[in-house]
Amino acid sequence: MKTRSFSLLLALLSGVAMGCSVAPVEWWGFAWIALAPLWVLLYRSPLNPLGLGFAWGVGFHGVALFWLTGIHPMTWMGVPWLASLAIAVACWMAVTVWGAAWAAIWAAIVSRYRRNGFTGILLGVAGWCLLDAIWQLTPLWWSSLAYTQSPHNLAILHLGQLSGITAVTASVVAVNGCLAVAILSEKRRQLAVMAAIATFSISHLLGFYLYSRPLNDSPNLAFRAGIIQGNVPNEIKLYREGLIRALEGYTRGYETLAETGVDAVLTPETALPDFWEADACLGDSPLAHLCQAIRRWEVTAWVGTFQGNLRRYSNSLLTVTGEGEVFSRYDKVKLVPLGEYIPFESVLGSVVNRLSPLQAQMVPGAKHQVFETPLGRAIVGICYESAFTEHFRRQAARGGDFFLSAANNAHYAPSMPQQHHAQDVMRAIELDRWGIRATNTGYSAIVDPHGRTLWKSGFNVFATHAETVYRRQTRTLYVRWGDWLLWVLLGMAALAVFRDKSSYKNTNPYKN
């Protein structure tokens, strides 16, 4: 009984160590060792592998996503304090269990198809990457092993230019697998340690080579981008007081940036919590103050707002030209479950209270939108979309020259926007594009194609910033071919299993 309890505790603690690799702790080096204990337990512990994997996943996702409890208190939405706490804890527990379930499935695969040495490691790597790829197809996704390295380990993140997060994740899992073999097998210990060191070193050297290549940006493709961080608290944002504060702040910030000579200004997600209509520049429109300022200064603005009506609306980013006209529109595709829409609404709609005071149905945008602007074609992600790599890759493959990230991020601890910033750093590297990131309360930033943060705002402050960025037409291997490495790993794993299937019996190769 003690052995079983210890095994479960060790699995949980190793997951916690992995959770400490992301914000707020950001001990990214832990990621290279924190999966190995689970791998060892899957061969040595008498416990069911599903339970071990689930415990590890609870540790990782429970720590990494603890910021979700920051939605409490929601008393400003009319939710009683205790009910608000219950909702926050329930949301945190739900996403933790969801993430832990995927770790449990991986543990079951590794335990079911036990293999010696290289084949076992390869199966573990391919299995993890396959589950990640499937998980990204679901509505609820955030915590990959790849983002444990962002934004600090820029060398390894450059493997994302080859095959997205799979290339980074595969390296992390492979090193952990080699360390697990070194612990499990005395005969293979020296070789496994050497393999771990070689995998870690080669992956970093390859990443550093990609990192060290000059950007060679053309001055002809430069433009000055402005960012406004409005700092309008969620408690007032969707009410009249918030709209007034937003209009005053964003108009003032826009005029300040326009005066410095910027070519365009980016505002955060739903910076103006109202519907931008065709008559927005008319005197009786609540948005006229900002729209008239745009006409006066004739500087393009990317405005976060709503489109639609009080019954059905979209979370949108508009390109508003110097004439005050809407040049292009992007509608958020990846909506937040429960926060922006109710999954299976016909079944759950009557029993689930949406975490939004807007009594309407938010609708997602079309999957294959193109966002043209006077400065070139842009790649766009609104808030939650930053975690979905394929969403950005599709837009880059269609000719996106730079990417815009607009988010709210209010009402959370600083660890959430820091993790969000880490996601955007990975996207900039994978796409080889300049990133312009505007948030409501932090952290807004400018990120270059090597993932270097050239400017980053403070938290819960009003801020404006101008920076020269560049349009780029390069196409990384990932942009051109997508996640090709996953298929290579799956093919190699299948061949390795087929090779030794005739001579291998499904018993534990490391059993004492």
Q: Are 388 and 427 in a shared domain?
A: yes
Q: How far apart are the first and last CA of the chain?
A: 19
394 inside domain? yes
**From the candidates 383, 385, 430, 456, which is the catalytic residue?**
383
Q: Are 403 and 348 in a shared domain?
A: yes
In a structure prediction context, what are the per-residue pLDDT tens digits for the chain, which is 512 residues long? 567 788 999 999 999 999 999 999 999 999 999 999 999 999 988 889 999 999 999 999 999 999 998 888 877 777 888 888 888 898 899 999 999 999 999 999 999 877 677 889 999 999 999 999 999 999 999 999 999 999 999 999 999 999 999 999 999 999 999 999 999 988 889 999 999 999 999 999 999 999 999 999 999 999 999 999 999 988 888 788 888 899 999 999 999 999 999 999 999 999 998 888 888 788 778 788 899 999 999 999 999 999 987 778 899 999 999 999 999 999 999 998 867 776 655 444 444 444 444 445 789 999 999 999 999 999 999 999 999 999 999 999 999 999 999 999 888 888 999 999 999 999 999 999 999 999 999 899 999 999 999 999 999 999 999 999 999 999 999 999 999 999 999 999 989 888 776 555 556 666 65
Strands 453-456 and 361-362: unpaired
**From the candidates 26, 91, 237, 269, which is the catalytic residue?**
269
What Cα–Cα distance (Å) separates residue 65 from each residue in 13, 93, 146, 193?
A: 16, 9, 15, 32
- 340 among known catalytic residues: no
Q: Which two tokens stand for residue 120?
A: 């076992």
**pLDDT attached to residue 443:** 95
- Number of helices and strands in the chain (H, E): 17, 13
Tell me which amino acid residue 272 is.
L
Q: What share of the chain is helix, strand, coil (3-state, %, to 5)?
A: 50, 15, 35
- CA dist 43 and 183 (Å) reads 11
Report the domain count for the chain.
2
- CA dist 307 and 317 (Å) reads 9
User: Are the CB atoms for 58 and 12 separated by under 8 Å?
Assistant: yes
Q: Are 45 and 166 in a shared domain?
A: yes
- 269 among known catalytic residues: yes
**pLDDT attached to residue 508:** 67
What Cα–Cα distance (Å) separates residue 145 from each residue in 64, 65, 169, 170, 212?
A: 11, 13, 6, 9, 24
Q: What are phi and psi of 222, to 5 degrees?
A: -85, 150
Q: Which two tokens stand for residue 371?
A: 């966002």
Q: Are 76 and 131 in a shared domain?
A: yes
71 inside domain? yes
119 inside domain? yes
User: Are the CB atoms for 57 and 15 separated by under 8 Å?
Assistant: yes
Whether the full predicted model's pTM is greater than 0.85, yes or no, is: yes
User: Are the CB atoms for 328 and 276 separated by under 8 Å?
Assistant: no
161 inside domain? yes
Q: Are 62 and 193 in a shared domain?
A: yes
Handedness of CA 271, 273, 277, 282 (dihedral sign): negative
78 inside domain? yes
497 inside domain? no
Q: Are 189 and 253 in a shared domain?
A: no
Q: Are 31 and 119 in a shared domain?
A: yes
User: Among the three residues 178, 213, 248, which one is the final residue of a domain in this structure?
Assistant: 213
Q: What are phi and psi of 7, to 5 degrees?
A: -60, -45
User: Are the CB atoms for 361 and 341 separated by under 8 Å?
Assistant: yes
Which CATH number characterizes residue 243's domain? Answer: 3.60.110.10
Residue corresponding to tokens 């804890």: 89
Q: Are 197 and 251 in a shared domain?
A: no
Q: Are 227 and 167 in a shared domain?
A: no
Q: Are 94 and 121 in a shared domain?
A: yes
**pLDDT attached to residue 82:** 87
493 inside domain? no
| Closest to 450 in 3D by CA, of 485, 474, 415 | 474
Residue corresponding to tokens 């290339």: 167
- In the chain, the largest separation of any two C-alpha atoms, in whole Å, equals 81
Q: Are 181 and 253 in a shared domain?
A: no
- CA dist 481 and 475 (Å) reads 10
Domain that holds residue 24: 2-213
**pLDDT attached to residue 280:** 79
**pLDDT attached to residue 201:** 98
User: Are the CB atoms for 441 and 417 separated by under 8 Å?
Assistant: yes
Tell me which amino acid residue 423 is.
Q
**From the candidates 26, 281, 291, 332, which is the catalytic residue?**
332
Q: Are 183 and 258 in a shared domain?
A: no
User: Among the three residues 181, 198, 213, which one is the final residue of a domain in this structure?
Assistant: 213
504 inside domain? no
DSSP 322: T
- 20 among known catalytic residues: no
